[in-house]
Amino acid sequence: MSTETMSATETASRPASFASSRRWLLWSGIAALCAWVLVPIYLVALGALGGRQGVYIWPKTGLPTGISLEPFILFLKTEGVVQSFLNSLGAAGITVALSILLGAPAGYALARYDFRGKDSYRLLVLLTRAFPLAILALPLTVSFIRLGLYDTIIGVGLIHTVLALPFAALVTQGIFLGVPKELEEAAWVFGCTRVQAFFKVVAPLALPGIVATAVFAFVISWNEVFAASVLTVRNRTLTAYLLTVLSESPMHYRFAGGLMLILPSVVFIFAVRRYLFAIWGISSK
Amino acid sequence: MANIVIDRIRKSFGAFQALKEISLTINDGEFVSLLGPSGCGKTTLLRIIAGLETSTSGDVRIGDRSIIGLAPKDRGLAMVFQNYAVFPHMTVYENVAFGLRMQKADDARVKAQVEKAAGLLHIEPYLDRYPNKLSGGQRQRVAVARALAVEPKVLLMDEPLSNLDALLRLEMRTELKTVLQSAGTTTIYVTHDQTEAMGLSDRIAVMHNGVVEQVGHPVEIYNHPATRFVGGFIGNPPMNFIKVPVSNGQVVAGAEQLAVPEDVGNEIVLGLRGEAVELAPLPQGIEMKVRVAEPMGSHLLLTGSIHDQPVRVILPASETVKSGDTIGLKLDRKRITWLSPESGKSFPAVSA
**Final residue of a domain: which of B228, B251, B280?**
B228
- DSSP calls for A243-276: HHHHTTS-HHHHHHHHHHHHHHHHHHHHHTHHHH
What is the per-residue pLDDT across B175-213, written as a single tens digit (0 to 9) for each?
888 888 888 889 999 999 999 999 899 999 999 999 999
What are the boundaries of each domain within chain A? Answer: 2-68, 71-276
How many Cα neighbours within 13 Å face the side chain of A19?
4
Q: What is the CATH number of the domain that holds B334?
A: 2.40.50.140
Q: For residue B237, is the peptide bond before it cis, meaning its omega torsion is within 30 degrees of 0?
A: yes
Residue A277: per-residue pLDDT: 59
In sequence order, what are the residues at sequence separation of 6 or more whose Cβ sits closer than 8 angstroms to the Cβ of residue A130? Answer: none
Same-domain status, B177 and B246 = no
Average pLDDT along chain B:
91
Structurally, how many domains does chain B consist of?
2
pTM of the full predicted structure? 0.80
Q: Does A187 touch chain B (CB under 8 A)?
A: yes
Same-domain status, B257 and B169 = no
The DSSP output letter for A233 is S
Q: Does A215 touch chain B (CB under 8 A)?
A: no
Q: Quick check: is B345 in a domain?
A: no
The DSSP output letter for B73 is G
d(CA A276, CA A210): 9
Chain B residues touching A284 at Cβ < 8 A: 83-86, 88
Across the range B61-81, mean pLDDT stands at 92
Chain A residues touching B83 at Cβ < 8 A: 180, 182, 284-285
Question: Does A190 contact B82 at a Cβ distance shorter than 8 Å?
Answer: no
Same-domain status, B224 and B242 = no
What are the strands of the beta sheet with B16-26, ordered from one edge?
B16-26, B4-13, B57-62, B65-66
Nearest to B151 by CA among B177, B116, B188: B116
Residue A281: per-residue pLDDT: 43
- For chain B, what percent of residues have pLDDT higher than 70? 99
Residues of chain A where predicted confidence (pLDDT) is lower than 70: 1-16, 58-60, 274-285
What is the per-residue pLDDT across A228-242, written as a single tens digit (0 to 9) for each?
988 888 888 988 888
Domain coverage including residue B329: 238-339
Chain A residues touching B102 at Cβ < 8 A: 190-192, 196
For residues B69 and A55, the model is more confident at B69
Paired with B294 in beta bridges are B301
Size of interface A-B (CB pairs under 8 A): 73
Question: Does B83 contact A180 at a Cβ distance shorter than 8 Å?
Answer: yes
Same-domain status, B16 and B150 = yes
d(CA B338, CA A51): 102
Paired with B92 in beta bridges are none
Least confident of A95-104, B56-65, B137-146, B178-187: B178-187
Q: Quick check: is B112 in a domain?
A: yes
Same-domain status, B176 and B250 = no
Q: Which CATH class is domain A71-276?
A: mainly alpha
Same-domain status, B214 and B92 = yes
Judged on CB neighbours under 10 Å (0-12, 13-18, 19+), A236 is buried
Chain A residues touching B87 at Cβ < 8 A: 183, 186-187, 201
Same-domain status, B215 and B190 = yes
> Are B201 and B195 in contact, with CB atoms under 8 Å apart?
no
What is the per-residue pLDDT across B156-176, written as a single tens digit (0 to 9) for each?
999 998 888 888 888 888 888
Q: Quick check: is B28 in a domain?
A: yes
